[in-house]
């Protein structure tokens, strides 16, 4: 701006023209310009631009491995870019560590939890935002955490140890931590991957309230439904480059999907009717103690036939995890029988069950499904190491395993430089694809699929769904457990409702009365009685 | 997809280079810091290191001594490495060496009149067994009760030392021990590991050590057992998922670990010394450093053991010729451990350094030179 003032120039008084740099309130909370980041063998960000307005919810969308998490880790100072410029509230910043970013008012919920399992909820939440001084007033901290939790409707026990909590609750703890830090700019990397629909609703409410209070939110998700529901604008990244930013209200799911993948994507599952055969997996009267002495499984029985997909619907914490882990052989039930075809596998260990034809996609890919420092080849051996062609029980054929890994990477589109890459260097979705590839490779008789599409992009979900349906059509039995009720409904030929460790209802996949399903999941039979009392 | 085969190869090669580079850097830092200590103690660091070098390599005899000094470190480092791979911190190497040395010393001291081809391998096998069993006690305690191995192995060390004293001080004539000398009987020549470099004390223990390293490499990286050990050590959850039994794997790994230490004790007893004295040799703790510097990789351990052997064998010459106390070598060993630990924390150091400069963003090359292992970086 040019400003004229009367002033003295030498001996004369005259108009002086000065140029003033205008300092307007910057509109942009975050600007990232031309960000480039290379990893050995991969260009994760190849010149990404992202502008996020102050006070908006901005969705970040992109295929698995597109570079979203990398970009956000760069913003948080966890990774240093090779090139590029970052402005926060108009100021040029260089964060050298997450601490700098937190100091500047940024907070991030990571795609994979960064919680310390042995610490309590409170300890995890206050970590990094303890005040000065050597002592922590535990009680005051717990109260404050409980208060924050209540304020946002994210209920957790502040004293519980994180390792004792189900993953869905851990997700809440992660979100609470950022809220507790009182960040100005919140980054959420796939925060809903492990939330139930109700929790997702709650989160929307929290985010809307935050936005109305002038905070800025960057929200990474693969679910187009969520983009539509929550965001004001959306930026799509493909293969490390920005392909466009849209105002959410002016775009469609189909357009976004196409921008993301570069082709049209079918957003619904195409499948024909099931032709169920003989029983593939059967459980009778399974009982298992859970925490606190309550039966996690309370005389549960179910069966899965060859050629059908059976979905389990239920509110989290009703024995789903225990059920799957018992079927997979991680726990031996206190009573009951499990049959795989004709074989009694109740007392078999997981290796034996695999040998007999059971495959298992676990819920937690970082703590169960993968060994992160291992190479992809070594991860392919997890659970397979004693089974030909991988090994004979004594030796392992690494050359053969590598060959298979290479081939599966191709077939399942696992994007990584090569089989020697460590699993920890893969993007979340690619890690998931690796596990799915491994578990389907053995051509199992029965597949236990827990959150099979957690963190996958729309293209990959389409692929995995069609693979699961194809497995079904090859005569395999599939037991599906997903927090995403829509996925369960879309994919299942039969739906079983679990409540308090028991199956309390069954629906055919063709005709599901959602209202009735909801009631059953909540422990009520449709005419109003509590299920627990009637039986 | 990636950028083809060349880049994959490159990435794997690079991570190895980073690992090796870290170890070399740690040793270098230790030597530089050690120079300061030497200077402070009033001696010339350059002269001291020169004397050390000549003491280690100056003659055929010196080279023999250096290699012989490396032998127990090879076994000790291997012992530490396999336990570490299973997620166990074996502080009990010293005790396991004592048990191995005692077993071999007693058996050899009996002078059973066996031919060397039978006598030596049997003695060594006993050493392996004794050390292995001693090591697996800590494994069993961990698997059964969760008792932490650092505590139990330290206690087992004391127990082993007492057992050694008790045995060699035994005045009853049943055991081949000399209570006056406080040692087992001198082993007859056919029960001794043969000298492999004439005119020196270098014995066949070196060959056994190298073979053991190769075998251990094969075990870790080619067999199911080794895969299970590595999985258990990195992720108990994934191990459970894969049906790998944590308890039995830990016990077995501790057996192998103790067995390696036992071989080390045995090779000292029937190799270098000929008998087991009533005193631990003191290789156990240095072995931890050997394992760490060798990055708990069998081949790395051999390289690290050589470095520590050089320090040990050159230190006498340094003391005699320059007057620098040979204890400085202990300081150097401590410094190496500190440097390794420091480099592991280098991510934070790097951040701190960058914060101090504030001017330019650190290039990624820097983070790649120091111990930031691929794959563990962003989500840790
Ligand atoms: N530490 C690392 N070392 C090597 N490569 C890495 C590392 N982190 C990420 N990459 C690679 O960078 C690319 C982008 O990964 P990023 O995690 O940013 O993807 P994303 O968009 O978050 O994907 P997703 O939706 O699957 O989580 C991937 O190809 C990944 O393999
Ligand atoms: Mg990601």
At B109 the pLDDT is 92
In angstroms, how far is the first alpha carbon of chain B from the final one? 25
Q: Which residue of B has its CA nearest to A415?
A: B1
**Do A32 and A73 fall within a single domain?**
yes
Q: Which protein residues are within 6 Å of ligand 1, measured from CB?
A: A 39, 42, 44, 62, 64-70, 111, 415-416, 425-430, 455, 457; B 374-375, 377-378
What is the Å distance from ligand 1's center to A180 Cα?
Answer: 28
B364:A416 CB<8 A: no
The answer to whether residue A224 is domain-embedded is yes
Q: Which two tokens stand for residue A433?
A: 């694809």
Residue at B364 is within a domain? no
Across the interface, whether the CB atoms of A417 and B2 are under 8 A apart is answered yes
Q: What is the pLDDT of residue A99?
A: 85
- The region that residue A155 occupies, defined by phi over 0 for left and psi between -120 and 50 for alpha, beta otherwise, is beta
Range of the domain at B320: 22-342
A370 neighbourhood in chain B, CB within 8 Å? 238
Per-residue confidence at B378, pLDDT binned at 50, 70, 90? very low
Give the span between the Cα atoms of B24 and B41, in whole angstroms: 26
Residue of A45, A67, A238, A375 with the most ligand 1 atoms within 8 Å of its CB, for mutation? A67
Residue A513 DSSP one-character state:
-
Of the three residues A226, A261, A296, the one that is the final residue of a domain is A261
Interface mutation vs chain A, best among B15, B235, B349, most A CBs within 10 Å: B235
**Whether residue A55 sits in one domain with residue A39:** yes
Q: Which atom of ligand 1 is nearest to the CA of B376?
A: 1
Closest residue to atom 8 of ligand 1, CA basis: A425
Beta-carbon contacts below 8 Å between A and B: 148
How far, in Å, CA of A45 to CA of A110, rounded? 18
Q: How many CB atoms lie within 10 A of CB A292?
A: 6
Residues A124 and A98 in one domain: yes
pLDDT for the residue numbered A526: 61
Inside any domain, residue A257? yes
- Buried residues in A443-469 as b, exposed as e (16+ CB within 10 A): ebbbbbbbbbbbbbbbbbbbbbbebbb
Asked if B8 reaches chain A (Cβ–Cβ under 8 Å), the answer is yes
Which residues of A fall within a CB distance of 8 Å from B362? Answer: 80, 96
Picking from A79, A386, A421, the nearest residue to B378 by CB comes out as A79
- Boundary of a domain, candidates A261, A290, A325: A261
Q: Does the residue A310 lie in any domain?
A: yes
Q: Is residue A161 part of a domain?
A: yes
Q: Is residue A16 part of a domain?
A: no
The pLDDT of residue B380 is above 80 = no
Query: Which residues of chain A are under the pLDDT cut of 50?
Result: 528-535
Task: Say how many residues make up chain A.
Answer: 535
- Domain shared by A393 and A521, yes or no: no
Query: What is the domain-level CATH number for residue B281?
Result: 1.10.3470
Residue B201 covered by a domain: yes
Give how far Cα A400 sits from Cα of A373, A433, B28, B371, Å. 21, 20, 40, 30
Helix residue ranges, H only, A364-427: 376-380, 398-411
Q: pLDDT tens for residues B92-141?
A: 999 999 999 999 999 999 989 899 999 999 999 999 999 999 999 999 99
d(CA B212, CA B201): 21
Contact between residue B192 and residue B271 where contact means Cβ atoms under 8 Å apart: yes
B41 vs B44: CA distance, rounded Å: 9
A287/A190 same-domain check: no
Query: Angle at Cα B35 formed by Cα B31 and Cα B40, nearest 5°?
Result: 150
Tell me: do A91 and A176 sit in the same domain: yes
Q: Who has greater pLDDT, B358 or B62? A: B62
Subunit contact B2:A42, Cβ cutoff 8 A: yes
Question: Chain B: residue nearest A324 by CA?
Answer: B241
Mean pLDDT taken over chain B: 85
In a domain, B372, yes or no: no
| Tokens encoding A333 | 């039930």
State the distance from the centre of ligand 1 to the C-alpha of B376, rounded, in angstroms.
12
Whether B277 is covered by a domain: the verdict is yes
A425/B221 touch (CB, cutoff 8 Å), yes or no: no
Residue A372: list chain B partners with CB under 8 A.
234-235, 375-376
Q: Point out the residue among A328, A385, A415 whose CB comes nearest to the CB of B227.
A: A385
Asked if B375 and A110 come within 8 Å (Cβ–Cβ), the reply is no
| Torsion, Cα of A361, B246, B250, B87 (10° steps) | 50
Asked if A88 and A212 sit in the same domain, the reply is yes
A137 and A244: one domain?
yes
Ligand approaching nearest to the C-alpha of A63: 1
Say if B351 is an interface residue toward chain A (CB within 8 Å): yes
Split into its structural domains, chain B has a count of: 1
In 10 A of CB B144, how many CB atoms? 10
Number of domains forming the structure of chain A: 3
State the ipTM, two decimals.
Answer: 0.81
Residue B84 lies in a domain: yes
User: Which three-class secondary structure string do you get for A77-116?
Assistant: CCCCCCEEEEEECCEECCCCCHHHHHHCCEEEECCCCCCC
User: Cα(A85) to centroid of ligand 1, in Å?
Assistant: 20
Chain B nearest CA to A331, separation (Å): 10
The verdict on residue B239 lying in a domain is yes
What are the chain B neighbours of A396 within 8 Å (beta carbons)?
222-224, 227
For residue A119, being part of any structural domain is answered with: yes
Residues A484 and A194: their CA atoms lie apart, in Å, by: 9
CATH of the domain at A207: 3.40.50.300
Chain A residues with beta carbon closer than 8 angstroms to that of B363 = 82
Shortest Cα distance, chain B CAs vs residue A340, angstroms? 17
Comparing CA positions, the residue from B10, B17, B1 lying closest to residue B373 is: B17
Q: Do A317 and A389 fall within a single domain?
A: no
Residues of A in contact with B374 (CB under 8 A): 39-40, 421-422, 424-425
d(CA A360, CA B307): 47
Among A402, A404, A429, which Cα is nearest to A415's?
Answer: A429
User: Quick check: B248 contacting A, CB < 8 Å?
Assistant: no
Query: What is the Cα–Cα distance from A171 to A62, expressed in whole angstroms?
Result: 22
Task: Measure the CA–CA gap between A163 and A152, rounded to whole angstroms.
Answer: 23
pLDDT, residue B14, reads: 61
- Rounded to a whole number of angstroms, the distance from the CA of B340 to the nearest CA of chain A is 19
Q: Is residue B371 part of a domain?
A: no
Which pair of tokens denotes residue A265? Answer: 């994507």
Which of A59, A48, A53 lies closest to A218 in space, CA to CA? Answer: A59
Task: Match 């809220």 to its residue by tokens.
Answer: A179
- The DSSP symbol for A216 reads E
Contact B375 A398 (CB under 8 A): no
Q: Which of B225, B296, B375, B380 to mutate to test the interface with A (most CBs of A within 10 A)?
A: B375
Residues A311 and A368 in one domain: no
Q: What is the dihedral of CA A45, A49, A53, A54, to 10 degrees?
A: 50
Please indicate whether residue B326 or residue A449 has the higher confidence score (pLDDT): A449
**pLDDT one-digit tens code per residue, B205-254:** 999 999 999 999 999 999 999 999 999 999 999 999 999 999 999 999 99
Same domain assignment for residues A42 and A107:
yes
- Same structural domain for residues A58 and A181? yes
The token pair at A312 is 């389990």
**Interchain pair B224, A369: CB under 8 A:** no
- Does residue A402 lie within any of the structural domains? yes
Whether residue B13 lies inside any domain: the answer is no
Asked if A81 lies within 8 A of B7 by C-beta distance, the reply is no
Q: Atom of ligand 1 at shortest distance to CA of A421?
A: 4
Domain range for residue A301?
Answer: 267-357+445-452+474-535
End position of a domain, from candidates A234, A261, A288: A261
Protein residue closest via CA to atom 7 of ligand 1: A425
The Cα B251–Cα B133 span in angstroms is: 10
d(CA A223, CA B105): 70
pLDDT value, residue A4: 59
Give tens-digit pLDDT for B1-37: 333 334 445 555 666 666 777 788 888 888 899 899 9
> Three-state SS for A228?
helix
């Amino acid at each position: 701006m040019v400003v004229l003032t009367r002033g003295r120039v030498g001996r004369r008084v005259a108009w002086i023209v000065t140029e003033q740099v205008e300092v307007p309130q910057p509109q942009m909370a975050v600007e990232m310009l031309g960000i480039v980041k290379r990893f050995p063998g991969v260009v994760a960000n190849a010149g990404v631009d992202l502008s996020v307005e102050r006070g908006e919810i901005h969705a970040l969308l992109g295929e698995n491995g597109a570079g979203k998490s990398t970009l956000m880790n760069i913003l948080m100072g966890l990774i240093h870019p090779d090139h590029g410029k970052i402005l926060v509230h108009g100021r040029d910043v260089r964060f050298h560590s997450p601490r700098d970013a937190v100091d500047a008012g940024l907070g991030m919920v990571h795609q994979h939890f960064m919680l310390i399992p042995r610490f309590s909820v409170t300890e995890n939440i206050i970590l990094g935002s303890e005040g000065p001084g050597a002592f922590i007033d535990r009680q005051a901290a717990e109260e404050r955490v409980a208060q924050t939790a209540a304020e946002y409707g994210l209920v957790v026990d502040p004293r519980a140890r994180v390792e004792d909590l189900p993953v869905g609750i851990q997700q809440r703890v992660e979100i609470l931590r950022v809220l507790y830090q009182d960040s100005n700019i919140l980054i959420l990397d796939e925060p809903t991957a492990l939330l139930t629909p109700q929790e997702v609703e709650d989160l929307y409410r929290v985010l809307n309230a935050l936005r109305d209070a002038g905070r800025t939110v960057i929200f990474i998700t693969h679910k187009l439904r969520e983009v539509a529901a929550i965001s004001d604008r959306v930026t799509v990244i493909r293969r490390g480059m920005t392909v466009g930013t849209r105002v959410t209200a002016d775009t469609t799911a189909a357009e976004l999907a196409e921008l993301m993948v570069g082709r049209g994507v079918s957003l619904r599952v195409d499948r024909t009717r099931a032709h169920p055969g003989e029983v593939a997996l059967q459980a009778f009267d399974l009982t298992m103690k859970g925490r606190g002495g309550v039966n996690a499984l309370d005389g549960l029985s179910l069966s899965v036939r060859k050629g059908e997909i059976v979905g389990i619907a239920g509110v989290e914490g009703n024995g789903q995890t225990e059920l799957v882990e018992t079927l997979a052989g991680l726990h031996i039930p206190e009573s009951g029988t499990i049959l795989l075809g004709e074989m009694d596998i109740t007392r078999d260990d997981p290796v034996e069950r695999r040998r007999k034809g059971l495959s298992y996609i676990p819920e937690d890919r970082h703590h169960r499904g993968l060994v992160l420092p291992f190479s992809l080849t070594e991860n392919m051996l997890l659970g397979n190491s004693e089974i030909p062609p991988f090994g004979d029980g004594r030796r392992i054929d690494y050359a053969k395993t590598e060959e298979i890994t290479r081939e599966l990477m191709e077939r399942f589109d696992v994007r990584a430089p090569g089989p020697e890459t460590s699993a920890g260097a893969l993007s979340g979705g690619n890690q998931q694809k690796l596990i799915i590839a491994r578990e389907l490779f053995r051509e199992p008789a029965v597949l236990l699929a827990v959150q099979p599409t957690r963190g996958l992009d729309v293209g990959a979900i389409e692929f995995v769904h069609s693979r699961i349906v194809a497995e079904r059509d090859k005569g395999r039995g599939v037991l599906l457990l997903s927090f995403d009720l829509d996925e369960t409904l879309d994919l299942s030929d039969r739906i079983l409702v679990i409540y308090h460790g028991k199956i309390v209802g069954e629906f055919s996949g063709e005709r599901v009365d959602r209202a009735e399903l909801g009631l059953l999941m909540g422990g009520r039979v449709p005419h109003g009685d509590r299920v627990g009392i009637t039986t | 997809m990636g950028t083809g085969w060349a880049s994959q190869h490159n990435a794997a090669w690079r991570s190895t280079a980073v690992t090796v580079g870290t170890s070399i850097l740690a040793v270098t830092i230790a030597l530089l810091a050690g120079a300061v200590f030497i200077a402070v103690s009033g001696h010339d660091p350059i002269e001291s290191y020169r004397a050390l070098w000549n003491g280690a390599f100056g003659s055929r005899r010196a080279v023999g001594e250096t290699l012989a000094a490396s032998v127990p470190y090879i076994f000790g480092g291997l012992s530490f490495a396999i336990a570490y791979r299973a997620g166990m911190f074996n502080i009990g190497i010293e005790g396991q060496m004592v048990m191995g040395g005692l077993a071999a010393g007693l058996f050899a001291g009996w002078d059973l009149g066996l031919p060397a081809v039978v006598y030596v391998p049997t003695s060594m096998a006993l050493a392996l067994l004794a050390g292995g069993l001693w090591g697996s006690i800590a494994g069993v305690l961990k698997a059964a009760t969760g008792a932490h191995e650092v505590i139990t192995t330290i206690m087992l060390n004391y127990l082993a030392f007492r057992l050694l004293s008790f045995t060699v001080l035994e005045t009853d004539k049943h055991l081949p021990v000399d209570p006056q000398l406080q040692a087992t009987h001198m082993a007859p020549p056919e029960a001794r590991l043969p000298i492999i470099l004439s005119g020196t004390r270098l014995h066949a223990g070196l060959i056994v050590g190298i073979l053991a390293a190769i075998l251990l490499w094969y075990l870790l990286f080619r067999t199911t057992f080794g895969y299970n050990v590595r999985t258990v050590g990195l992720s108990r959850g994934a191990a459970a998922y894969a049906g790998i039994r944590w308890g039995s794997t830990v016990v077995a790994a501790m057996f192998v670990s103790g067995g390696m230490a036992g071989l080390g004790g045995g090779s000292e007893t029937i190799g270098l010394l000929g008998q087991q004295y009533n005193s631990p040799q003191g290789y156990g703790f240095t072995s931890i450093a050997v394992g760490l510097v060798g990055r708990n990789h069998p081949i790395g351990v051999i390289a690290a053991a050589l470095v520590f052997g050089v320090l040990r064998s050159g230190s006498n010459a340094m003391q005699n010729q320059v007057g620098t106390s040979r204890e400085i070598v202990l300081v150097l060993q401590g410094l190496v451990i500190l440097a390794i630990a420091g480099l592991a924390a280098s991510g934070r150091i790097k951040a701190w350094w960058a914060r101090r400069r504030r001017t330019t963003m650190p290039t990624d090359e820097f983070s790649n030179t120091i111990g930031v292992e691929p794959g563990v970086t962003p989500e840790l």
